[in-house]
Amino acid sequence: MSNLKPEEFRITDQALGIWTLKKGAEVLDIGCGQGETVEYLEKEYGYKARGIDLSKAMIKRGLARNPKLNIRYGDGEFLDGFLSYSFDGVMMENVLSLIGLPDEALHEAYCVLKKGGKLFIGDLFIKDPDTELLKAVEIEAQKQQSMPHPEDGCGSEHSEEECGFGEHTEECEECSDCDDCSDCGGCGEGESESERAEEHRYRAVNFRSNGRFLMTPLLKQLKEIGYTNIAWEDCSVELDDVTVKRIRAGTSEGRLCKETLNPPIDKYKTGYFMLTAKKPL
Average pLDDT over residues 162-180: 39
| Cα separation, 180 vs 81, whole angstroms | 10
pLDDT value at residue 203: 80
Give the pairing of strands 270-278 and 113-126.
antiparallel
| Cα separation, 254 vs 97, whole angstroms | 15
Q: What is the mean pLDDT of the chain?
A: 78
DSSP state of 54: S
CB atoms < 10 A from the CB of 169, how many? 14
Calculate what percentage of the chain has a pLDDT beyond 70. Answer: 67
Read off the pLDDT band of 87 (50, 70, 90).
very high
Rg of the chain over Cα atoms, rounded to whole angstroms, equals 18
Length of the chain, please? Answer: 281
Angle at 43 between CA 40 and CA 45, to 5 degrees: 85
Q: Which residues are 29's β-sheet partners?
A: 51, 91
CB 158 within 8 A of CB 165: yes
DSSP state of 75: B
pTM for this model (two decimals): 0.74
pLDDT value at residue 260: 47
Distance between alpha carbon 251 and the CA centroid of its chain, in Å?
17
Strands (E), 77-200: 87-93, 113-126
Amino acid found at 209: S
pLDDT value at residue 69: 97
183/58: higher pLDDT? 58
3-29 confidence digits (pLDDT tens): 445 457 889 999 999 999 999 999 999
190-229 confidence digits (pLDDT tens): 444 444 444 446 788 999 998 899 999 999 999 999 999 9
